[in-house]
Amino acid sequence: MTLLSSTPPFVDLQWIRERPQALSVALADVRWYLDGSSGRDAYESGHLPGAVFVDLDRWLSGPASRKHGRNPLPIPAVFAAGMSASGIGDGDVVVAYDDAGGVIAARLVWMLRSIGHAAAVLDGGMAAYDGALETAAPAIQPRAFTERPWPADLLAGIDETVEGGAVVMDARNRDRYEGRQDPIDPRPGHIPGAVNVPCRGNLEPDGRLAQPQQLRENFRKAGIESADGVISYCGSGVTACHNLLVMEHVGLGLGRLFVGGWSQYAHASHLPIETNRPVSWLQRRHAS
């Protein structure tokens, strides 16, 4: 599996400011909240200069269902139309941000990179910006954005996620992984055998990425030393993308996304669940 984008998965403000003049960068605000708060309202109250708002529910997700989860991938035509309507064209390098350290913006970046489009998460997100925010939305001219299919080799379905053989990685916070609470899905817990690498553990307190050695150690503690054979999931395929991008960032390679996530699995009442913390995948492998 090879992503076609040569752009690193995470960039900082200096990278944007020092880019070659011929390189067209499109800033995308991808704020979105699990509690239903409006990302657009947050955008309109203040955003990075020139940034466009990309609506995760409208352009980065298909219709929610019990069968496919809360945020399945949209059909490619919808995604392409959304990028075009947002003023993002084939030649633009997209730099996406949010106010959560990039764990939401990672969804757009992963989607773009998966089809070979140059894209990166702004490390630190809004908190890293050192200038005045804007409230007026920029004038948007639709751009040509080529429709491309989602790559099957970077995706995993529910059957192959649960049938064994893969390293299944849960990106949710530990309390949801352990089943101590779940604010939105019908059953608390996690996929049996899944290891927990909370995506927010990739971040320093200021919202920037931790150092590469610390990030690699986070994965190593879960028994992951390579992304080969790893399937990443979360509640609905949003924050799981952050773990995939981080693995790429630190040189572990490319994993796959189970986009339906826990919102799909929890509705499959015939499938078992686990609660509390199981032994690590590495311990399971050595015991087998």
Instruction: Give the catalytic positions in this structure.
Output: 234
Residue 74: DSSP 8-state: P
Task: Identify the bridge partners of residue 120 per DSSP, sorted by sequence position.
Answer: 95
How far apart are the C-alpha atoms of 162 and 282, rounded to whole Å? 17
Q: Is the dihedral of CA 54, 55, 56, 61 positive or negative?
A: negative
Contact 30, 97 (CB under 8 A): yes
Alpha carbon 126 to chain centroid, angstroms: 17
Cβ-proximal residues to 111 (8 Å cutoff; 6+ apart), any chain: 60, 73, 79, 241
Which secondary-structure segment (H or E) carries 176? Answer: helix 174-177
* Helix (H) or strand (E) run with residue 167 in it: strand 167-170
Residues 6+ apart with CB under 8 A from 23: 93
- Measure the CA–CA gap between 158 and 265, rounded to whole angstroms: 7
* Residue 121 identity: V
CB of 39 within 8 A of CB of 107?
Answer: no
d(CA 230, CA 255): 5
Residue 9: name the closest of 116, 103, 120 by CA: 120
Question: Structure tokens of 28?
Answer: 């995308």
